[in-house]
């Protein structure tokens, strides 16, 4: 069964609209964005205008009232053209807006979700130099001071950080309690003591900003605590479970874009008096890649459907991210080989798909962390 058959009429119409956006708005700008290592502001503006920056947010707060399945569709389709533009949409919906939708007060939703759906980019700040896979070994501290909390510390590898105006930041309010002291805060870019630091120079998804955040006696209003004090670890885990579906969508999109380019090429490129596509060995490689990609797609959409049905997806989300990132690496590598020497140059698109693929096994939990999560769910 093709994964496309699981879409409703509404979802297919939405998919067509996103595909048009990716082709008409994103594709003409990909080369310049890659060269400049920066998203074109026109892509960000158009993402808001099309409603892609608030897909699941209720209409009350300015969103489209859609589903995680629709977020998955959007991220996959955009990733077929450019993974950097896709991760902008992904992080906005899954990491910035999801915790606000799920844990914020109505006052916080009115103040922040309405901005995130209209014109303000959001980001999620959990990782630190000393807490990557050990996500809860946070060194960033928050101390209560009257009607404010004072944050001190440094966050690393924050996606969308250069463009963002609103950040979901995790800090420890009670180090003696370990991970049970972690609390989530809503931090605005203009808060005193908060600065955006170094932007990373990366292998792939180069147009997507990845930055460090610095907190030097940053004063955050007490009203900006997200969820209960000391319950930030629950918010972080729940959010990452959803975020992994988005990364899965990015990976199947990258692989799909690369495979599409490779199939077009092998049907045109001739060697030994016939097209490369006429060789059975090549046919078998493409068939194997397409089969693995379809399996990964179905796993990603299954996780999205389960979450839309309000089911726990800790295991399914981890499985979807694990498999899709592995498949994406294999498929994009094959596509480079199918292009031969041309595939190793920047004149053709597959080398970029190949570079963009690598991040899937790393961020929002490495592949080993996904395996650990899956094992825990199976054995508990």
Choice among 77, 163, 351, 364 that is catalytic: 364
Mean pLDDT of the chain: 97
Q: Architecture of 234-379 per CATH?
A: Up-down Bundle (1.20)
Q: What is the mean pLDDT of residues 12-16?
A: 97
Q: What is the pLDDT of residue 360?
A: 98
Q: Architecture of 3-121 per CATH?
A: Orthogonal Bundle (1.10)
> Which pLDDT tens digit goes with each residue over 325-350?
999 999 999 999 999 999 999 999 99
Q: What is the pLDDT of residue 166?
A: 98
Q: What is the pLDDT of residue 135?
A: 82
**Position of tokens 């699981």?**
6
Burial class of residue 189 in the structure, from the number of CB atoms within 10 Å of its CB (0-12 exposed, 13-18 middle, 19+ buried):
middle
Q: What is the mean pLDDT of residues 156-163?
A: 98
Q: What is the pLDDT of residue 1?
A: 39
Q: What is the mean pLDDT of residues 135-146?
A: 94
How far is the C-alpha of 171 from the C-alpha of 185, rounded, in Å?
8
122-231 to CATH, choices 2.40.110.10, 3.40.50.720, 2.40.50.140, 2.60.40.1120:
2.40.110.10
Domains of the chain, by residue range, sit at 3-121, 122-231, 234-379
> Which pLDDT tens digit goes with each residue over 266-319?
999 999 999 999 999 999 999 999 999 999 999 999 999 999 999 999 999 999
Q: What is the mean pLDDT of residues 163-180?
A: 97
Q: What is the pLDDT of residue 4?
A: 52
Active site (annotated) includes residue 59: no
Q: What is the pLDDT of residue 132?
A: 85
Quote the pTM value.
0.97
The band of 203, judged by pLDDT with boundaries at 50, 70 and 90, is very high
> Which pLDDT tens digit goes with each residue over 48-103?
999 999 999 999 999 999 999 999 999 999 999 999 999 999 999 999 999 999 99
């Amino acid at each position: 069964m093709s994964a496309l058959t699981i879409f409703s009429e509404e979802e297919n119409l939405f998919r067509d609209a996103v595909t048009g956006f990716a082709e008409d708005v994103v594709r003409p700008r990909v080369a310049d964005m890659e060269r400049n290592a920066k998203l074109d502001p026109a892509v960000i503006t158009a993402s808001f205008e099309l409603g892609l920056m608030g897909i699941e947010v209720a209409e009350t707060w300015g969103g489209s009232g859609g589903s995680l399945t629709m977020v998955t569709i959007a991220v996959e389709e955009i990733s077929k053209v450019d993974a950097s533009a896709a991760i902008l949409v992904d992080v906005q919906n899954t990491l910035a807006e999801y915790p606000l939708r799920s844990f914020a007060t109505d006052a916080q939703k009115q103040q922040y979700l309405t901005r995130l759906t209209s014109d303000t980019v959001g980001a999620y700040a959990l990782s630190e130099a000393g807490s990557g896979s050990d996500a809860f070994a946070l060194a960033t501290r928050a101390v209560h001071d009257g009607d404010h909390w004072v944050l001190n510390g440094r966050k690393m590898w924050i996606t969308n950080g250069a463009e963002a105006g609103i950040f979901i930041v995790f800090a420890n309010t009670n180090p003696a309690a370990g991970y049970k002291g972690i609390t989530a805060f809503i931090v605005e870019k203009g808060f005193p003591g908060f600065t955006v630091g170094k932007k990373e120079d990366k292998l792939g998804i180069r147009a997507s900003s990845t930055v460090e955040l610095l907190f030097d006696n940053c004063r955050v209003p007490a009203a900006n605590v997200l969820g209960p004090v000391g319950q930030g670890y629950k918010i972080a885990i729940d959010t990452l479970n959803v975020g992994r579906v988005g990364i899965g969508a990015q990976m199947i999109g990258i692989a799909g874009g690369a495979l599409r380019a490779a199939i077009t090429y092998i049907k045109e490129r001739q060697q030994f008096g016939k097209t490369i596509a006429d060789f059975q060995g090549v046919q078998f490689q493409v068939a194997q890649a397409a089969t693995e990609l379809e399996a990964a797609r179905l796993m990603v959409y299954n996780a999205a459907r389960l979450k839309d049905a309000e089911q726990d997806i800790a295991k399914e989300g981890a499985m979807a991210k694990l498999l899709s990132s592995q498949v994406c690496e294999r498929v994009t590598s094959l596509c480079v080989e199918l292009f031969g020497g041309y595939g190793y140059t920047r004149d053709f698109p597959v080398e970029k798909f190949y570079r963009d693929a690598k991040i899937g096994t790393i961020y929002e939990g490495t592949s080993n962390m996904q395996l650990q999560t899956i094992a825990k769910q199976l054995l508990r």
